[in-house]
């Protein structure tokens, strides 16, 4: 590797800052110890925020608010008018509640379709992971994807147990079990843990492909060791290129950005849509820096790994104990700041060489998506799988070329 080159197929120890005065780097929220608070079962009992549709991809940057309902009492106008306003402005579930009150019926403790109902359904499948290893101790979250004990979490949560460490899995009913690390992929910040249990409650997996900015989301996990914590918000942006981590284990994430509160201990927990299906794995937060040695906290900028990406990685780990990372086989010129990603060197025998990519080429798009910089190129490539073919738009000597490249798995 040349001094100016960054290999796409390798993780790089890069920490990139979001723009803005005083805004610190994106990073894992679970890299510092914190007090082991007792479990706390939390839940919000209110109608869901209406699902909104908005623009698709977010603006690319380097490298997680529900709407309040104001109640107005009609007073001198009279109960009939007040009820008419309620019927025409409240969600259907809330209108049913008003009708039930008028009829004297007994309301259910949890309204159908509410955040409380979703939380009650998924909390038995969300676990707290207490992990220890040679690199230290920590607490994170995870969620059960199969009744026979497979649990998804972050690599930076469970990976420290790889070399003789231990994983304790704490369930919502107060029971615990010993977990075994099945496998992990540091580049995607994903890991799978297995417990020797059957008949476990699972959380359904959805799809991140159809998400829109403004869609309602729910995060469940164990921030600061407070198990069963539920927070809500919206999808703030999509396709945010995020790098997080360090010490040779940098993750490149084409992330879902959300303003749902994400704090240390939330990592590895599920980000859910309004149907209670997992659409992301909570992984990183942006911080304002703060005092030296201070612990990061939520400032409304959290990032989750899209579940469509996570599914492939998790499936491979469950089946084989490891997973593959797709590459094109180039080293990028780190001195080039964009727009686009400039090729420094082409790896001999790589997909890029076979496709005709040359040193000095400027990659400006992947499958029609504009590339802002090298980080975005990496996360966009990693959103695919080995064997997929991507179409690169390349500028060379003033000409624009369309170059199809078939991805292959990294040898590392």
Average pLDDT over residues 272-290: 87
Backbone angles phi, psi at 225, to 5 degrees: 80, 5
> Does residue 348 have a pLDDT over 90?
yes
Which residues, other chains included, contact 398 with Cβ-Cβ below 8 Å and sequence gap of 6+? none
DSSP letter, residue 224:
G
pLDDT at position 44 = 39
Q: What percent of the chain has pLDDT over 70?
A: 70
Two structure tokens written together for 127: 């676990």
Average pLDDT over residues 247-265: 86
**Confidence class of residue 103 from pLDDT cuts 50, 70 and 90?**
low
Cα–Cα distance measured from residue 105 to residue 336, given in angstroms and rounded to the nearest whole number: 68
pLDDT at position 63 = 33
pLDDT at position 109 = 59
pLDDT at position 302 = 92
Cα–Cα distance measured from residue 235 to residue 124, given in angstroms and rounded to the nearest whole number: 24
DSSP-derived 3-state class of residue 320: helix
Element (H, E) at 115: helix 115-122
pLDDT at position 32 = 46
| Residue 300 to residues 29, 62, 231, 233, 256, Cα–Cα distance (Å) | 13, 17, 11, 9, 13
Residue in 296, 303, 308, 370 with CA at minimum distance from that of residue 339:
370
Q: What percent of the chain has pLDDT over 90?
A: 52
Average pLDDT over residues 149-171: 92
* Cα torsion through 50, 236, 8, 407, rounded to 10: 20
Residue numbers annotated as active site: 156, 189, 267
Cα–Cα distance measured from residue 317 to residue 81, given in angstroms and rounded to the nearest whole number: 59
> Does residue 111 have a pLDDT over 90?
no
Cα–Cα distance measured from residue 320 to residue 309, given in angstroms and rounded to the nearest whole number: 17
> Does residue 77 have a pLDDT over 60?
no
Average pLDDT over residues 127-139: 88
Q: How many CB atoms lie within 10 A of CB 22?
A: 7
pLDDT at position 164 = 85
Strand partners, 362: 342, 395
Cβ atoms of 251 and 187 within 8 Å: the answer is yes
pLDDT at position 243 = 85
Cβ atoms of 96 and 143 within 8 Å: the answer is no
Count CA atoms within 13 Å of residue 103 on its CB side. 9
**Parallel/antiparallel/unpaired status of strands 362-366 and 341-346:** antiparallel
pLDDT at position 105 = 56
Cα–Cα distance measured from residue 157 to residue 268, given in angstroms and rounded to the nearest whole number: 7
Cα–Cα distance measured from residue 309 to residue 280, given in angstroms and rounded to the nearest whole number: 9
Average pLDDT over residues 263-291: 88
Per-position b or e across 332-347, b if 16+ CB within 10 A of its CB? bbbebebebbbbbbbb
pLDDT tens across 32-49, in order?
Answer: 443 333 333 333 344 444
> Does residue 7 have a pLDDT over 60?
no
Cα–Cα distance measured from residue 192 to residue 313, given in angstroms and rounded to the nearest whole number: 9
Average pLDDT over residues 98-121: 68
Two structure tokens written together for 400: 């624009």
Two structure tokens written together for 175: 């029971």
Residue in 185, 134, 143 with CA at minimum distance from that of residue 161:
134
CATH number, domain 15-67+115-323, options 2.60.120.10, 1.10.10.10, 3.40.309.10, 2.40.10.120: 2.40.10.120
Average pLDDT over residues 245-273: 86
Q: Determine the CATH number of domain 324-409.
A: 2.30.42.10
The structural domains of the chain, with segments of one domain joined by +, span 15-67+115-323, 324-409
> What is the pLDDT of the chain when averaged over all its residues?
77
> Does residue 395 have a pLDDT over 90?
yes
DSSP-derived 3-state class of residue 147: coil
The rounded Cα 399 to chain-centroid distance in angstroms is 38
pLDDT tens across 188-228, in order?
Answer: 999 999 999 999 999 999 999 999 999 999 999 999 889 98
Q: Is the peptide bond before 339 cis (omega within 30 degrees of 0)?
A: yes
**The whole model's pTM is what?**
0.72
pLDDT at position 182 = 95
């Amino acid at each position: 590797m040349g001094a100016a080159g960054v290999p796409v197929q390798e993780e790089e120890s890069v920490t990139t800052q979001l723009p803005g005065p005083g805004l610190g780097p994106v990073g894992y929220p679970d890299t510092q110890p914190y007090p082991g608070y007792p479990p706390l079962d939390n839940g919000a009992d209110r109608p869901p925020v209406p699902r909104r549709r908005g623009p698709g991809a977010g603006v690319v940057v380097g490298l997680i608010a529900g709407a309040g309902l104001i109640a107005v009492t009609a007073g001198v106008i009279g109960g009939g008018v007040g009820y008419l306003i309620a019927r025409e402005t409240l969600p259907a579930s809330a209108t049913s509640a008003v009708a039930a009150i008028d009829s004297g019926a007994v309301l259910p403790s949890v309204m159908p379709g509410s955040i409380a109902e979703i939380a009650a359904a998924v909390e038995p499948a969300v676990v707290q992971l207490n992990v220890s290893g040679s690199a230290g101790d920590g607490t994170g979250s995870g969620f059960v994807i199969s009744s026979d004990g497979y649990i998804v979490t972050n690599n930076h949560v469970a990976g420290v147990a790889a070399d003789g460490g231990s994983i304790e899995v704490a369930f919502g009913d107060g029971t615990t079990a010993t977990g075994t690390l099945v496998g992990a992929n540091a580049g995607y910040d994903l890991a799978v843990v297995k417990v020797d249990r059957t008949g476990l409650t699972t959380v359904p997996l959805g799809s991140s492909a159809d998400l829109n900015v403004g869609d309602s989301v729910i995060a469940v996990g164990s921030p600061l060791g407070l198990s069963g914590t539920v927070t809500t918000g919206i999808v703030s942006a999509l396709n945010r290129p995020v790098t997080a981590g360090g010490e040779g284990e940098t993750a490149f994430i084409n992330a879902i950005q959300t303003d749902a509160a994400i704090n240390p201990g939330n990592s590895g927990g599920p980000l859910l849509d309004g149907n209670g299906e997992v659409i992301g794995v909570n992984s990183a937060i942006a911080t304002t820096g703060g005092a030296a040695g201070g612990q990061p906290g939520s400032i409304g900028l959290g990032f989750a790994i899209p579940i469509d990406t996570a599914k492939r990685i998790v499936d491979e780990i469950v089946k084989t104990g490891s997973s593959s990372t797709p590459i094109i086989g180039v080293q990028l010129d780190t001195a080039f700041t964009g727009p686009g990603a400039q090729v420094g060197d082409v790896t001999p025998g790589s997909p890029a060489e076979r496709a005709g990519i040359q040193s000095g080429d400027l990659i400006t798009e992947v499958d029609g998506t504009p590339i802002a910089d090298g980080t975005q190129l990496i996360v966009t490539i990693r959103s695919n799988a080995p064997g997929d073919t991507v179409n690169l738009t390349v500028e060379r000597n003033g000409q624009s070329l369309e170059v199809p490249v078939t991805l292959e798995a990294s040898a590392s």
